[in-house]
Structure 1
Amino acid sequence: MFRLSRQTLGAALAASLIAGAAHAEVVLHRGNGGEPQTLDQAHTSIDVEANVLKDLYEGLTVYGPDGKVLPGAAESWSVSDDKLTYTFKLRQDAKWSDGSPVTAEDFAFSFRRVEDPKEAAGYANLFYPFKNAESINTKGMAVDQLGVKAVDEKTLEIALERPTPYLLELLAHQAALPVNKASVEKNGADFVKPGVMVSNGAFKLTENVANDHIAAVKNANYWDASSVKIDKVVFYPLEDQAAAVRRFQAGELDVNYYFPTDQTDYLRKQLGDQVHMSASLASYYYVFDTRHEPFNDVRVRKALAMSIDREFLSHEIFQDGQLPLYSAVPPGIASYGEPEKVEYAGMDQLDREDKAKELLKEAGWGEGGKPLKIDIRYNTNANHEKVATAVADNWKALGATVTLTNLDVKSHYAYLQEGGNFDVARAGWTADYADAESFLGLNISTNKTFNYGHWANAKYDELMAQSYKETDPAKRSAVLHEAEKVLLVEEPVTTLMVFGSPWLVSNKVKGWQDNAANEHLSKFLSKEQ
């Protein structure tokens, strides 16, 4: 009988273990800061959804590791001389996770779906630069009149209402991700479920356990699968930042979005360069519900806005990880230049408080007037609670009675987007594209999804409409500046800080680059075992 020697057997076993280790599954564990409301592109609205969706699907363009736009499902594109027509060539080897080809009609169908008023997509206005999009979404024009056309299986044509210099960035947004037409028509709303979802990104959905985790595995049919180094991604909806930090320190998380920024210095001492805080085109703001007293009075809004000590918020709560903001548009947008500022930006904090009291007295609220009662709503988060508490102290100094209400991030934004009544609510906004319109467009009266305070101003709407028609970049920028001035005078929203992007990234994770777009696709990352 043939027998292996003990030495030979040992060598074979060692070789087997080495081979097994070499092929061990590489799992990336990502703390995601909150529970997604949806994994349906047409109904997405927040960054924790985008983080998941952009691993599952790929748009015509994508953001690279450095935050710059790269070709995605489209390998190339051309632009007409009048800048009104873009022609995209899809990759010949672009496939869905079920092996079927990604087609131009899939993209055309997806864009029509977003603009169809029956779908009630919150981001429909994002694609109003497309030919006939606004008329379809708001005025009853037939959805097949949208300016998207499948020229052939792999050629998509997009016709525009006006030149749109930020179109390529817009197409990298999560609402521009395609859906599989056949799957949506067959499965309806169930197309988002594990085992049903057909996606075209680097990963495909395998699990979605509410308030626990979302798991996705490498998509073997992805056109660039050979370059993807991660076998599986698991997203955890961790709103408890302190708990998330502990899990990161214990090695249970490789990447975590958000941490208590008042612990930034401490965490840097403990974790070194694994702590990342990068400035981004994003704002942290409070919005007033202008539908009821006293927040329908600009004097009250102005008084409350100017009394907030932004320097305290920045230095004491965020340890300068976020900077005071006195404009509606954050700085850093090259095409816009220096943003406008509120009139009290240069005033001393004590002088602001005195002026605020004068305005409230003039309006008949607060000390000597009608009782001023304010409820601040915010999404559950240690930092947001600290901000709300500090702002409440500022307002109590004006004679107001202030209460706090918090909900998880999913419920908080759902409440605002569905038109729930409130006094003051916390919100944040990250630019969908590097253009001032991404911030100013939030407050157009017809923006039913993101104009949380239901503010309406005819002059503002007129200026924004004018900016959409203006093709000269300098003139367009000037019009947007005028719109920002109107917004800052009326102050239906008050910006508090330029919102930084706090991440914890393990030294085992490679390929990570901080960027202003705050985009970090798992397909560009790798992990040492």
Structure 2
Amino acid sequence: MKASSVALLLMSLCAPVAAQTLERGNGPEPSTLDAHRCPEVTCGNILRDLYEGLVAEDAHGRLIPGMAERWELSADGRRWTFHLRDGLRWSNGEALTAEQIVASFRRAFAPATAAPFAVHFDAIANATAVQQGKLPPEQLGISAPDARTIVFRVERSVALPQLLLLPIAYPVYLPAVANFGAQHTRPGHLVSNGAYRLVAWTPQAQLTVERNAHFRDVAPIPRVRFQVTEDAASELQRFQAGGLHLTETVPPQPLPQLRARFGTQLRISPYLGAMWIGLNLQQPPLKNNPALREALSLAIDRDKLTRYITGLGESPAYGLVPPGVSDYRPASQPWSRATQAQREALAQRRYREAGYGADRPLQIELRYNTSTPLRRMNLAIAAMWREVLGARVTLRNEEWKVFVGNRKQRVITQAFRGGWIADVDDARNFLANFHSDGVTNWSGLQDPAFDALLAAADAAPDLSARAQQLHRAEARLLAQQAIVPVYFYTSKHLVRPDVLGFEANPLDHHPSRFLRLQEPKR
């Protein structure tokens, strides 16, 4: 590329943003815009603009009516009824009916869809059997008695409205799927029902949405561009140059310096998310070796990581479920209160018990997706494994889609970047990822006792009994050394002063329809 072309490209990336276009940093390239198949935060941010479910959430993360204007639960707790608004439309102007919503749910749970979040809906009658291909989608416990009513039959107590915030619950326009297949998510093909519609998508660069003229409320900002910002340091530079209104994250830097530089533009808030190192339990060297897995966990100095490497308010994690989840007391490793010196001594003992030592050092790969913060974190973890255990660690950095595919297949991965951001405020949302049949069971844990504890939680008569069973399930998961907890997240963004309506919330969801751009002073 000629130098002049490079200069033009840089100018376009960093040029001051247009007054009525919201420029959002959004992290890696989204793996899909198929709402039923979205597995990560990146696509979820975009899908919340393109779609609306039966239930929605406001700027503060509170439940509000979506496609449904109201809903109620039957006295026996086994039937949820949702009453649709009048005049619902797709972005192409066609009427959106209850029958279409039911058909979309059937597609979401069909085995061929392989929806990553389907496991969270196992309370719906026949949902698991449909997903496993044991029953046809028509027997899914969701029906439409008329054009404006949706009924869910559930087999246990479940907070269904919160679950219906997930992208899998968005209505997908099935004629486009039939006509275009996997290409139904491309501009010109994608038909949605939210406040915005897709108008452009340049892979590995940006994605643009504009107001949906057929949505009931007019979004204050007419156009939103989601910028691919895989590198947090580059994202920060673009924000400083005026090329972004808000960032998806902030690169690791000393917090006092960031506050001095950005003042109130820096937004750091509690967040229901956990970072861990996943361990492939299906392949050597970690298969059938809990002592080795525990040694790797013990060797990490989490206080040092969160103080000097991440440094933006994160807290050390010794369990899976973060503090602050409603109606739940998290579990933790029994050695969480030991000193770091005590943990490292125990790590070395477990390492020897696993059959490793100076004459036979562990050789292991630590795999992560492209990201400046993740690179720093994984470099630090690799250094700790080398220093404390003498392990020989190879770092593998992969583009997001490649990384996601390898992690899911569990063939070449050994240790890998894991983590989970809560989809709903519920401990089960974290724990269900490790069910033996879970699509997001990247570690490949196969533990009938853990599965039984999840089932017991589902059958519990009240919230207290449910929380106790979930706590036991988390303790069992930790005892199996299925993951290496590292830290609990904070949400961190840079937000320009002219962006109004950006509110902190535990799930860090910020639909563009609730944001406004302050008009420039004349």
Scaled by the length of structure 2, what TM-score is found?
A: 0.93
Q: Which residue of 1 aligns with 2:24?
A: 30
Distance 1:313 1:526 in 2: 37
Distance 1:100 1:394 in 2: 58
> Deviation of residue 469 (structure 1)?
2.1
Q: Which residue of 2 aligns with 1:17?
A: none
> Deviation of residue 254 (structure 1)?
0.5
> Deviation of residue 94 (structure 1)?
2.1
Deviations 1:3-55 (A, max 9, x none): xxxxxxxxxxxxxxxxxxxxx97110001011000000121100010000110
* Superposition pairs of residues 157-196 of structure 1, within 5 angstroms: 157-165=151-159, 167-196=160-189
Distance 1:426 1:400 in 2: 18
Distance 2:338 2:123 in 1: 40
1:495 aligns with 2:485: yes
Larger radius of gyration: 1
Distance 1:182 1:372 in 2: 53
Q: What fraction of aligned residue pairs are identical, expressed as a percent?
A: 34
Q: Which residue of 2 aligns with 1:100?
A: 94
Q: Provide structure 1 residue ranges, at least 5 long, that are not aligned to the other structure.
A: 1-23
Deviations 1:473-513 (A, max 9, x none): 21111111111111111111121111111111110100010
Deviations 1:142-167 (A, max 9, x none): 110001111211111111121102x2
Q: Which residue of 1 aligns with 2:275?
A: 284
Q: Which residue of 2 aligns with 1:87?
A: 81
Could you tell me whether the CA contact under 8 Å between 2:255 and 2:312 is conserved in 1? no
Q: Which residue of 2 aligns with 1:382?
A: 372
Could you tell me whether the CA contact under 8 Å between 2:265 and 2:495 is conserved in 1? yes
Could you tell me whether the CA contact under 8 Å between 2:280 and 2:444 is conserved in 1? yes
Structure 1 residues 320 and 187: CA distance shift in structure 2, 3 A = closer
Q: Which residue of 2 aligns with 1:44?
A: 38
Could you tell me whether the CA contact under 8 Å between 1:114 and 1:123 is conserved in 2? no
1:69 aligns with 2:60: no
SS in 2 for 1:208: strand
Distance 1:120 1:481 in 2: 28
Could you tell me whether the CA contact under 8 Å between 1:307 and 1:353 is conserved in 2? yes
* Superposition pairs of residues 259-274 of structure 1, within 5 angstroms: 259-274=250-265
Q: Which residue of 1 aligns with 2:461?
A: 471
Task: Work out which of the residue numbers 114, 135, 142 in structure 2 matches 1:120.
Answer: 114
1:144 aligns with 2:135: no
Q: Provide structure 2 residue ranges, at least 5 long, that are not aligned to the other structure.
A: 1-17
Task: Work out which of the residue numbers 291, 306, 311 in structure 1 matches 2:303.
Answer: 311
Task: Work out which of the residue numbers 340, 350, 366 in structure 2 matches 1:359.
Answer: 350
> Deviation of residue 409 (structure 1)?
2.3
SS in 2 for 1:389: helix
Q: Which residue of 2 aligns with 1:434?
A: 425
SS in 2 for 1:277: strand
Residue type of the alignment partner of 2:454: M
Distance 2:71 2:146 in 1: 14
Could you tell me whether the CA contact under 8 Å between 1:279 and 1:498 is conserved in 2? no
* Superposition pairs of residues 124-523 of structure 1, within 5 angstroms: 124-165=118-159, 167-225=160-218, 228-296=219-287, 297-336=289-328, 338-368=329-359, 370-397=360-387, 398-447=389-438, 449-523=439-513
Distance 1:264 1:151 in 2: 55
Distance 2:76 2:19 in 1: 50
Residue type of the alignment partner of 1:79: L
Scaled by the length of structure 1, what TM-score is found?
A: 0.92
Residue type of the alignment partner of 1:217: E
> Deviation of residue 263 (structure 1)?
4.6
Could you tell me whether the CA contact under 8 Å between 2:283 and 2:411 is conserved in 1? no
Distance 1:262 1:413 in 2: 27
> Deviation of residue 346 (structure 1)?
0.5
> Deviation of residue 57 (structure 1)?
0.6
> Deviation of residue 350 (structure 1)?
1.0
Could you tell me whether the CA contact under 8 Å between 2:110 and 2:133 is conserved in 1? no
> Deviation of residue 139 (structure 1)?
4.7
Residue type of the alignment partner of 2:512: S
